[in-house]
Amino acid sequence: MRVLISTTPMEGVFAPVAPLARELLTQGHEVLVATAPQLMRRVGAAGLAAVAAGPDAPEAAAAAVALPEFAAGQQPWRIGAVMFSRVMAPRKTTDLLEIVEEFEPQVIVHAPVDLAAPLVARVCKIPSLTYGTGLLLEPELIAAMAEWVAPLWHSFGIEPDAHAGLYRYGYLDPVPASLQPDLGPVAGIARPIRPAVSGSVDDELPEAIQRMGRRPLVYVSLGTVPIFNQPPAFGPLLAGLADLDIDVVTTVGTETVPSDLGPLPANVHVAQWLSLAALLPHCDAVLCHAGAGTTLAALSHGIPLVLSPRGADQFPTASACAATGVARVLTPDRVTPDAVRDAMESVLTEQSYRAAAERLRVEISDRPSAATVAAELPRYVREA
């Protein structure tokens, strides 16, 4: 089977589908990833073939903020919605049509924010499956993106889809039912899959981290998107952890160097990137921005969280985690060193958080692996 995977050029959007793509390749299928140039090296490092399609994220974001749709509202998701629908989708569609003509895929598997892919699938009469990166996108966000991408559908003489084409055939759902009990528009087409955790359990960690072990270990991350992980944002988080009897490991992403954080508390170790599959088994808590990748990775290991959402889908993810008892949430107006310290002390000492996280770990472990889903995908496509 020939599988075209279409993704926007962000680590947090590509990483969830990478294990499935590698398993498809291992099981003998042809796999090609269509994404913007900035992500192609990352795709290649994952052992996958890549082809350029659409604009890079910084270029698309700059174009999005100049559009009237962006200026018309203040929702946390607005810049992404405008970027995906009004900038990326129109510019990627032409590239994707050419790729489909040459590669002749039998299915297109795409990110929930890659709005060119479901349209191209519809034009070319190919089944398309959306792979989830976290919670289902908010209905208000879906409605806005569907409205803004509708002219592109009309340009092909096709009646626009109410969900921007995202839920026409199938949906691979990585979120445990306790976090997302209502599947709404995908209730009849969703298939569970275990969420991805970056790296391998066999990856070697830096020596400084290997020497840790006497004290509780806390992992701190604000993700990989520059708009969310600017160095000043780490200040109150790390200051709040400085006086606790813990060790702290922080990653800042490839766009930032550790020295950009300035002087650090003695209990903090900083790196650009670390294998979460290798690191998280040693962690007692995670402090992050409620990005879906980091949050689901922590819960896959039964680790409680302190969440500091900053935008995009992070607020609904944080709310869902708080509702299940696995996290303390600090909204942007409450992020002070004292609040961070108090929240982390609670998560580390109150057993209810660990117990709730352990329940979700069991629930996640029961979901089918990427290998199982890859083996079932041909039948799933035939049924689409």
Please give the residue range of the domain that contains residue 175.
2-195+367-383
Q: Are residues 273 and 356 in the same domain?
A: yes
Q: Global pTM?
A: 0.92
Number of domains into which the chain is organized: 2
Whether residue 129 is contained in a domain is answered as yes
In angstroms, the Cα distances linking 208 to 247, 250, 268, 270, 383 are: 11, 12, 10, 10, 51
Whether residue 320 is contained in a domain is answered as yes
Are the beta carbons of 108 and 128 closer than 8 angstroms?
yes
Whether residue 45 is contained in a domain is answered as yes
Whether residue 171 is contained in a domain is answered as yes
Whether residue 43 is contained in a domain is answered as yes
Q: Are residues 38 and 94 in the same domain?
A: yes
In angstroms, the Cα distances linking 369 to 189, 223, 280, 335 are: 18, 24, 19, 36
Q: Are residues 226 and 127 in the same domain?
A: no
Distance between CA atoms of 225 and 112, rounded to whole angstroms? Answer: 17
Whether residue 33 is contained in a domain is answered as yes
Owner of token pair 């092909």:
156
Owner of token pair 């985690």:
321
Q: Are residues 168 and 213 in the same domain?
A: no
Q: Are residues 34 and 148 in the same domain?
A: yes
b/e code 296-320 from CB counts within 10 Å (16+ = b):
bbbbbbbbbbbbbbbbbbbbbbbbb
Whether residue 274 is contained in a domain is answered as yes
Whether residue 201 is contained in a domain is answered as no
What does the chain come to in residues?
Answer: 384
State the DSSP string of 331-361. -GGG--HHHHHHHHHHHHH-HHHHHHHHHHH
Q: Are residues 379 and 344 in the same domain?
A: no
Strands 107-110 and 2-6: parallel
pLDDT number for residue 384: 64
Q: What CATH code is carried by the domain that includes residue 256?
A: 3.40.50.2000
Encode the chain (384 residues) as per-residue pLDDT tens digits: 999 999 999 998 999 999 999 999 999 999 999 999 999 999 999 999 999 999 999 999 999 999 998 888 888 788 889 999 999 999 999 999 999 999 999 999 999 999 999 999 999 999 999 999 999 999 999 999 999 999 999 999 999 999 999 998 899 999 999 999 999 999 999 999 999 998 889 899 888 888 887 899 999 999 877 777 788 889 999 999 998 999 999 998 777 778 888 888 889 999 888 999 999 999 999 999 999 999 999 999 999 999 999 877 899 999 999 999 999 999 988 999 999 999 999 999 999 999 999 999 999 999 999 999 999 998 877 776
Q: Are residues 55 and 180 in the same domain?
A: yes
pLDDT number for residue 206: 87
Distance between CA atoms of 169 and 205, rounded to whole angstroms? Answer: 41
Q: Are residues 172 and 243 in the same domain?
A: no
Q: Are residues 178 and 312 in the same domain?
A: no
Q: Are residues 162 and 299 in the same domain?
A: no
Q: Would the CA dihedral through 180, 61, 50, 198 be positive or negative?
A: negative
Nearest to 109 by CA among 36, 30, 178, 39: 30
Q: Are residues 176 and 230 in the same domain?
A: no
Q: Are residues 269 and 180 in the same domain?
A: no
